[in-house]
Amino acid sequence: MLNRATTPLLIALGLLIQATTLASTAARPYTLEHTEVRSVPSRILPRDYEIFVSLPESYNKTQKRYPVLFMTDANYAFPLVRSINRRVNDYGRNLDEVILVGLSYARGDSPITSRNRDYTPTDIVLKKTRRPGQGDGPYGQAEPYGRFISEEVLPFVAQHYRADMSKKIYVGHSYGSLLGLHLLFRKPDTFDYYVLGSPSLWYDRYHMLDVERQYAASNKNLSARVLMVAGAFEAVQPGSDNPRYAKETDMVKDMQHFEQQLKGRGYPGLSIRSEVIKDEDHLTVFPALITRGLLWALPKR
């Protein structure tokens, strides 16, 4: 039989059990293992950015150095590239292990504002494509943002991680590829491999083709490995009733023309090829691009 002395104790015990049960079933954030976020304020721009870092599973079990893959649009690309890398690698059978570094958007900026400004080489006025609550300009700060990458991000990674900076891989898509091409011609040795998806060569009346011509006029070599990829639906197909085909800009034709322009220079240090992926469009091609880029740049040695 319970007495008045034991009843409050049992009530308290019941409340404790209930609280413990609720705590154990409460929702909590999903955390990606072996990842971390680092703040990299920029003196050059000046703006504040973060990098997202994923370390190889063997990182804390060895003292070796690892190649580094840098990707733009990290808020979207980082978890996707990390997952594809782990899957394609198949427990170390297919790929060399790599440190993944995602380049985030500027703090306080929307993704559209940040990438439009930081990834484009010239300041122009485009058709208004803004979404509710998001601006679409300014444009044209790829030069200082590229310096931020080469002079601040790369030294930060080299200082804080066991990174093999002799094998740096760049991955970008759309405007991210435009930034990659800007780096390729302004400072080619920023990266060793360039994986460029759906490059926005149309930007500012094909400004990047003029940049390449200017580079060729004063340089006899371009030391880099370049893989360009686009989806088959990024071509224009007049008469087709398939809504996935591009309506105005034929990015497949642009990419192939640009490839031929570069091959025609005869740069002895340049390795370049392009690939068109069937059944992919501008919005769906990125995962396939990553799979091919990883197998191309990081085959198991």
> What tokens appear for 138 in the block?
């300014």
> What tokens appear for 43 in the block?
């003196």
> What tokens appear for 76 in the block?
């979207």
Is residue 2 very low, low, confident or very high in pLDDT (cuts 50, 70, 90)?
A: low
pLDDT of the residue at 28: 84
**Range 133-157 average pLDDT:** 88
Residue 155 confidence (pLDDT) above 70: yes
CATH topology of domain 29-297: Rossmann fold (3.40.50)
Q: Are 229 and 293 in contact (CB under 8 A)?
A: yes
pLDDT of the residue at 49: 97
Task: Kindly report the number of other CB atoms within 10 A of residue 238's CB atom.
Answer: 5
pLDDT of the residue at 7: 67
pLDDT digits (tens, 9 = 90+) for 19-58: 666 666 778 888 888 899 999 999 999 899 999 999 999 9
pLDDT of the residue at 132: 45
Q: Are 233 and 279 in contact (CB under 8 A)?
A: yes
Task: Label each residue of the chain as H, E or C.
Answer: CCCCCCHHHHHHHHHHHHHHHHHHHCCCCCCCCCEEEEEEECCCCCCEEEEEEECCCCHHHCCCCEEEEEECCHHHHHHHHHHHHHHHHCCCCCECCCEEEEECCCCCCCHHHHHHHHCCCCCCCCCCCCCCCCCCCCCCCHHHHHHHHHHHHHHHHHHHCCEEEEEEEEEEECHHHHHHHHHHHHCHHHCCEEEEECCCCCHHHHHHHHHHHHHHHHCCCCCEEEEEEEEHHHCECCCCCCCCCECCCCHHHHHHHHHHHHHCCCCCCEEEEEEEECCCCCCCCHHHHHHHHHHHHCECC
> What tokens appear for 62 in the block?
């060895």
Residue 92 confidence (pLDDT) above 90: no
Q: Are 182 and 141 in contact (CB under 8 A)?
A: no
Indicate the residue type of 69: L
175-186 and 203-218 helices, crossing angle to 10°: 20
pLDDT of the residue at 30: 87
Preceding amide of 8 cis, omega within 30: no
Whole-number average pLDDT of the chain: 91
What is the C-alpha separation between 101 and 71, in angstroms, rounded?
Answer: 6
pLDDT of the residue at 186: 95
Residue with token string 């990299």: 40
The two beta strands, 35-41 and 48-54, are antiparallel
**Range 98-112 average pLDDT:** 96
The two beta strands, 99-103 and 163-173, are unpaired
Question: Any idea which of 39-48, 125-134, 210-219 has the lowest mean pLDDT?
Answer: 125-134
pLDDT digits (tens, 9 = 90+) for 262-299: 999 999 999 999 999 999 999 999 999 999 999 999 99
